[in-house]
Amino acid sequence: MYGLIDCNNFYASCERVFNPLLARKPIVVLSNNDGCVIARSNEAKALGIPMGEPAFKLKEVIESHNVAVFSSNYTLYGDMSQRVMTIISSFVPDMEIYSIDEVFLKFEGYENIDLRELGLKIVRTTTKGTGIPLSLGIAPTKTLAKVASKFAKKYPDYKGVCIIDSEIKREKALQLFAIEDVWGIGRRYAKKLHYHSVNTAWDFTQKSKSWVRSLMGVVGERTWMELNGTPCFRLEVQGAKKSICTSRSFGEQLTEINPISEAVANFAASCGEKLRKQHSLAHSLMVFIHTNPYATNKSQYYNQILMQLPVPTNDSTELIKYAGQGLKKIFLPGFSYKKAGVIITEIVPERPVQTNLFDERNREKYNTAMKVMDSLNASYGNRKVRIATQGFGRKWKLKNEKLSPCYTTRLSDILVVNANEIPF
DNA sequence: TCTGGGGTCCTAGGACCC
DNA sequence: TCTGGGGTCCTAGGACCC
């Protein structure tokens, strides 16, 4: 059997843990730049605030219902996520962390254990230890476990744990489950399926396999098999990322290249950091910039450029250099830019080392510099040590006016470092 | 008049997820 | 005035190989 644990309204719940006055109050968390709603407490959902709604359209409802509004604080959410996952892993070792707020479990060798009892214990212990409410679904396939977790969340009588372990339960659950809520069925396929009078997950399973295959390809066929009880997706081991992207919308529109260069340098540096963290090197790097697509009355420009790196690297100074060269090639004056980003692909493991006959760079020296920089930044805070081109400007910085404190990771807590651990 | 068969790799775009 | 960020996989078509 597979399990799927989903943290309820995760970001909103994280904010609430450290602010008990928010209990039973409507909460929304906004995307970067305080753009649109990306998380809502149940109370906010009840007010009819939709997911993805731009914040400026919600001014009225926020004021009239006293909705608590937060900028997103990924430092806090990331740390809370780790705590949740750590507790869960003490119960079930076979787990796949699927996202910041979801984890798949595999119950293998649990044949003589009451999974409902175990599930309740996991949910209760984790919520008690972190303050985050959870829902757990258990079923023979990952897709069905997802379905079960939605029931666990929706109906309080389940006390957070719902199990689909018989044909009768599977049939009943799928008949009550809208096709567009199935894992793997997005907006496009849902529309196609509705057109063919497939409205519930059950309707979908009653279609023939070949019909599904011709409409949705092999991906849809797998979903069909999973809903019918045949597992197609295993627990996946977490590997290194195959692409890494850092991109942001700017707090204000930028017309000059200088602040954009600074932003792009920071994005490249951040990609380098992520690469080093997973012990990988990248062979290519892409830079993109674009204007504000919502400003339909202004002229639009979107461009990107792929840069091949001579030798796979995770050195921020090198990534910054190529990102900057790329930006110069695609930047055109006369536009108001809203967003830029750096995407890194062709990622390979750090070892074995690949060399280039004509490479003249002293890679050992730069690697040491990166190590020292990472370790200082880990101790003293992000970007405390940086490459000069990353700059100190604030022009491109995003808006986050409603940011909560990093309760669990703020510097006063982690500044207690052993001097011997600083490598110089 | 009549012109094969079997591959690989790359890219762009589309679909999905959180 | 104001609209997020970061991923994965699959497919079709083109270019190329022998």
pLDDT digit string (tens) for A288-332?
Answer: 999 998 888 888 898 889 888 888 999 999 999 999 999 999 999
Give pLDDT tens digits for A51-96.
Answer: 999 999 999 999 999 999 999 999 999 999 999 999 999 999 999 9
Which pLDDT value is given to residue A411?
A: 58
CA distance A1 to A115: 9
Q: How far is the CA of A343 from the C1' of C17 (A)?
A: 31
Residues in chain A: 424
Q: Which nucleotide is closest to A38, CA to C1'? A: C4
Token pair of A85, please?
């996952």
Q: Which nucleotide is closest to A6, CA to C1'? A: B18
Which pLDDT value is given to residue A225?
A: 96
Say yes or no: Cβ of A365 under 7 A from any atom of strand B: no
Instruction: Tell me the residue type at A79.
Output: D
Q: How many CA atoms lie within 13 A of A417 on its CB side?
A: 16
Say yes or no: Cβ of A99 under 7 A from any atom of strand B: yes
Say yes or no: Cβ of A217 under 7 A from any atom of strand B: no
Inter-axis angle of helices A187-195 and A209-227, nearest 10 = 120
Give pLDDT tens digits for A98-110.
Answer: 999 999 999 999 9
CA distances in angstroms from A214 to A1, A148, A201, A209, A262, listed in the order given:
30, 28, 18, 9, 49
Q: Which residues contact A30 (CB under 8 A, 6 or more apart)?
A: A36, A37, A38, A55, A69, A70, A71, A72, A402
Q: How confident is the model at residue A419 (pLDDT cuts 50, 70, 90)?
A: very low
Which pLDDT value is given to residue A399?
A: 81
pLDDT above 70 covers what percent of chain A? 96
Q: How confident is the model at residue A130 (pLDDT cuts 50, 70, 90)?
A: very high
Q: How confident is the model at residue A338 (pLDDT cuts 50, 70, 90)?
A: very high
Amino acid whose CA is nearest the C1' of C6:
A245
Residue indicated by tokens 């003249």: A360
Q: Is the pLDDT of residue A414 over 50?
A: no
Which pLDDT value is given to residue A413?
A: 45
Q: The whole model's pTM is what? A: 0.92
